[in-house]
Amino acid sequence: MSVSPLAAADRPVTLRHLAHIAADGRGGLSYRLAAPSAAAAGGLMPPASSVPSALAALAPLRRQLSVQPEAAVYSGPAPRGPSRVTLRTIRKKYESGEPLSMVTAYDYPSAVHVDAAGIDILLVGDSVAMVVHGHDTTLPISLDDMIAHCKAAARGARRAFLVGDLPFGCYETDPRDAVRSAVRVLKEGGMDAVKLEGGSPARVEAARAIVETGVAVMGHVGLTPQSVSVIGGFRPQAQVADEALRVLDQAMALQAAGCFALVLECIPGPIAAAITRCLTIPTIGIGAGGQCSGQVLVYHDLLGMMSHPHHAKVTPKFCKQYARVGDIIGEALQAYRRDVEERAFPGPRFSPYSISEPEVRSLAEALRKRGLGGAAEAVEDEAHRAAAAKAAAKAAATTEAAAAAERAAGGTR
């Protein structure tokens, strides 16, 4: 039985009412406490003095039954902890002059790593088309593909502010298409904001429409990979005054449209510094010098995992490799291949599952009855070999333990 706000003041409070108050979050309403009566004595209504404790006891029920998100933005009740990065966090860091860190990552494992490192912003970029899917440009990736990657990253990142790229083809034709795509990225992908490329009037209008819908937007000017066919390849931008002014105008227009931040890609440091000085929103640089409000690199690039196809198998000039994970991966895979070829893997240590000797005999007998003598011999031989290897390993461990104990005893004398 639901209690309406209008009727609440005229009704006595019952335990059922308290449950509704707790579940619906209406604890702030004024409910009249009826005087003790026979109904109260029968358990329908608690004494007035017990109401606060009853509400406290029902607090967990309120959380379980509430339809309000606990700490998530748009993707449902997914608590992500008190240290979660929000737009307010980003704005506070920007205003205090603290540099913002952003990493482009595309899946659950990388998102877990990015989150654990304390990175402020995780961008699920359409560069996944190149880095993960192996395309030569970002153009082939679809909105559905992007949403799948957004979902995976959102499951891995519980702290970072999540931004999902709007891929080419999902927002260019009409602002309404842009809004629909942005809403999907948030509702289905679990993102906190979207990013779109370019500063043309049409792109600015799309950004404005999305912002007016209530979705946070990050802009992107300079080198915009989705425009690769127009600009003639992946080349630095704004290297002449006219181009620099055009990029500045685009940045100003995107800020006016309501973008909360801008990516500046592959432009000279002085130009990025000038744009950053002109804006009142954070700039995130990639190949844009050190005077931006923050920096972004691709997860795979900064870890030295692999190279983009369009960089001719070399790391981008603007990317510092903080590790050479690709070399480590290559060495590990080669070592694995050698172990397999030499039958050194899995060996006794990595063959943990066994079968008892009576079961071996029973199985071998059953196989021979079926005329599968070779299979029976294989079962017996492998069981005996595994048992011998296990015994040898146990003996070696015992010997090593005894030697270690002897060394320890000698060291205490």
DSSP per-residue string spanning 317-381? TT---S--HHHHHHHHHHHHHHHHHTT-SSTGGG------HHHHHHHHHHHHHTT-HHHHHHHHH
Provide CB contacts within 8 A for 150, sequence distance 6+. Answer: 124, 162, 164, 185, 188, 189, 190, 191
- Is 205 part of the annotated catalytic residue set? no
Question: What pLDDT shows up at residue 46?
Answer: 47
CA distances from 91 to 88, 163, 191, 202, 240 (A): 5, 15, 18, 27, 31
Q: How many residues appear in the chain?
A: 413
DSSP string computed for 320-332: --S--HHHHHHHH
Which residues fall within 8 angstroms of residue 374, CB to CB, at 6 or more apart? none
State the pLDDT at residue 119: 98
Bridge-based pairing of strands 121-124 and 294-298 is: unpaired
Burial class of residue 74 (count of CB atoms within 10 Å of its CB; 0-12, 13-18, 19+)? middle
- Angstrom CA distances, 412 to 240, 399, 408, stand at 75, 20, 7
- pTM score, whole prediction: 0.73
> Following CA atoms 179, 185, 190, 194 in sequence, which dihedral angle do they give, to the nearest 10 degrees?
-70
Specify the DSSP element, H or E, that contains 103: strand 100-104
User: What is the predicted pLDDT for the residue at 234?
Assistant: 62
Q: Please give the pLDDT value at position 348.
A: 83
Q: Which of 70, 172, 212, 265 is flagged as catalytic?
A: 265
Other Cβ atoms within 10 Å of 56 Cβ, number: 10
Q: Are 285 and 314 in contact (CB under 8 A)?
A: no
Q: Where are the domains of the chain?
A: 5-65, 87-329, 347-411
Query: What are the 10-residue block averages of pLDDT along the chain, 413 residues in total?
Result: 42 48 42 41 46 48 37 48 88 98 97 97 95 90 97 97 94 91 97 95 96 97 74 69 94 98 95 97 95 96 74 69 91 96 91 91 96 96 90 88 85 61
Q: Which CATH class is domain 87-329?
A: alpha beta
pLDDT at site 173: 84
- Distance (Å, whole) CA 352 – CA 348: 7
Residues 190, 184: Cα–Cα separation, whole Å = 9
